[in-house]
Structure 1
Amino acid sequence: MGIAANLFRVVYATWRQYIYTAGALLTLTWKWLTKDKDYFTEYTYPEPECLKNWNHKFVQLKDIRMHYVEEGPEDGDVLLMVHGFPEFWYSWRFQLEHFKHTHRYLPIKRYVYFFQSQLIPEIAMRSNKMKMLEAMFRGKQAGIRNSQNFTDEDMLAWKHVFSQPGATTGPLNYYRDLFNAPSISRKLQIVQPKVLILWGDEDNFLDKKGAEFSVQYCRNCRVEFIRGASHWVQQDQPELVNAYMEQFMKEDIYGTVDNQKEFKSNL
């Protein structure tokens, strides 16, 4: 049964990848035929002021040199903040400002089927003056609901980072290798430390059931759906996210919160 399930997963993922790739290729071909040739011109955007005056550092790992930003007292408890794609350390700017006086803060710089294709996602993201990024963060369907939290300068910051040579390929390679990860036992899949999941209830990229399903992989987990927040929840509702983070770090037992939902693991 395990072999059959793994085989089905590989076949299904491959089929979905081909479908999404074919659709993207047809769309790009149509754009090339009907739009001005400048549509595919790649631009390198300047660094905006909002990315400066932070404590930028680097660490050399085995095969990569990783960038991170460090703020807060050296003897403070460490908050290691990671992110998905297409985000980068600046996605945590509201949390950086909020916790920098009490915690040592380390945000590091580092959907699925379409991103697994070769070259096409890079072309799509960097064409048309990177309008795909604008749609993701400022579009009516998927964008940040509290538009004042994502300014023109913030948009320029995203374009600056992802217009650098190779800036999109590295993160995309994670998705390309997603279904090649080795299988691990159910026991080893269980997250042992206490977990808090904050999920925007207007997330257009991921279904709410994903949050509920994640509970089954945690020994002690709580899910909070943030009303009116998009996929970019820590940027959309930073004050509420910061409050939940503070509560989570200070308390061992949590009561339910009005208009929120708590899920208990069966483990």
Structure 2
Amino acid sequence: MNDITFQFIETNGITMHVASAGPKDGPLAVLLHGFPEFWYGWKNQIKPLADAGYHVVVPDQRGYNLSDKPVGIGHYVIDALRDDIIGLITHFSLEKAIVIGHDWGGAVAWHLASTRPQYVEKLIAVNIPHPAVMRKVTPFYPPQWKKSSYIAFFQLPEKPERRLSEDNYRVLDHAIGLSERPSLFSCEDVQKYKEAWGRKGALTAMLNWYRAIRIGGLGSAVPIAMPIPYRLIWGMNDRALSKKLAKETKRQIPNGELIFIDDASHWVNHEKPDIVNHLIHEYLQR
């Protein structure tokens, strides 16, 4: 990780903390983390992409870690999250970017590619369906209701923050499996995550991504269409998102590929980094 540099970028009315690596004249690859991670969630992908010649840019997204945390759920609607990344892309390049997103970062990536495709060269999404597909399928697919029940809990004021912070962030730690999987996460990794979660206002800002769904309509104004070629990588054992959402994304948006990875969960980019890195590199080299 010694080759990574850090800076603060002004974009869309906020200051965003950004990690970057690789040659500055290489093709721009923007990696977007999800909940409850931060730029460090892509630690296994940054160096391989940089070594392959890409200019890798990995922000702490709005509300996370060292990036700004504006107060109020209205600042976390999907259009604002998208526009943060447009500002980032235009800061680093006069051309399009490769955009790779996991979880919520993938939702932002899908939304960007669907509504502002002029900024995206290729899209890779990891364990996240197209938001409009999720909106369309979930109400009619009971198995997903239980998987999504935590989202309803996150809508409550204050109580989720207390729950997530108690016992040294035990719930968030367990959600990723940080302390439980020392083969994947070192003590230093665990500490970095807990430092990010402990920053002033971070938990509320992170939860506001979910709370803003009710006013920003995750995918509500976006047709199920996507002009950008994509690859969807999916860990088969995702406890939060059904495989049906992945299959429906591929069925309803046919100009892409869906690849399932066995013996992997929602956190496939941590669990199977060699496979994920190969699938990313192979797709981008076409």
Normalising TM by the smaller chain, what interval?
0.5 to 0.7
Aligned CA distance change for structure 1 residues 163 and 185 (closer, same or farther; 3 Å):
closer
1:106 aligns with 2:57: yes
Q: 1:79 aligns with which of 7, 16, 29?
A: 29
1:124 aligns with 2:74: no
One-letter amino acid of the structure 2 residue matched with residue 209 of structure 1: K
Higher relative contact order structure (alpha carbons within 8 Å, sequence separation ≥ 6): 2
**Superposed displacement of residue 121, structure 1:** 1.5
**Superposed displacement of residue 219, structure 1:** 4.3
**Superposed displacement of residue 175, structure 1:** 0.6
How well do the aligned residues superpose, as a CA RMSD in angstroms?
2.1
Give the structure 2 partner of residue 57 of structure 1. Answer: 7
CA contact (8 A) 2:178 2:185 kept: no
**Superposed displacement of residue 118, structure 1:** 1.6
Give the structure 1 partner of residue 226 of structure 2. Answer: 191
Q: 2:208 aligns with which of 162, 173, 188?
A: 173
One-letter amino acid of the structure 1 residue matched with residue 60 of structure 2: K
One-letter amino acid of the structure 2 residue matched with residue 169 of structure 1: T
**Superposed displacement of residue 233, structure 1:** 1.1
Distance in 1 between residues matched to 2:187 and 2:153, nearest whole Å:
27
TM-score with structure 2 setting the length: 0.63
TM-score with structure 1 setting the length: 0.68
Aligned CA distance change for structure 1 residues 180 and 217 (closer, same or farther; 3 Å):
farther
Aligned CA distance change for structure 1 residues 127 and 215 (closer, same or farther; 3 Å):
same
**Superposed displacement of residue 239, structure 1:** 0.3
Aligned CA distance change for structure 1 residues 170 and 63 (closer, same or farther; 3 Å):
farther
More strand by share: 2
Between Structure 1 and Structure 2, whose CA radius of gyration is higher?
1
| CA displacement 1:66-115 (0-9 Å, x = unmatched) | 11101000011111011211011101011112111211001111242222
**Superposed displacement of residue 185, structure 1:** 5.7
Aligned CA distance change for structure 1 residues 185 and 123 (closer, same or farther; 3 Å):
closer
**Superposed displacement of residue 158, structure 1:** 0.6
Give the structure 2 partner of residue 8 of structure 1. Answer: none
- Count, aligned residues: 195
Percent identity reads 28
Say which SS state the counterpart of residue 21 (structure 2) adopts.
coil
Q: Which runs of 4+ in 1 moved over 3 A?
A: none
**Superposed displacement of residue 184, structure 1:** 2.3
CA contact (8 A) 2:178 2:190 kept: no
Aligned CA distance change for structure 1 residues 131 and 190 (closer, same or farther; 3 Å):
same
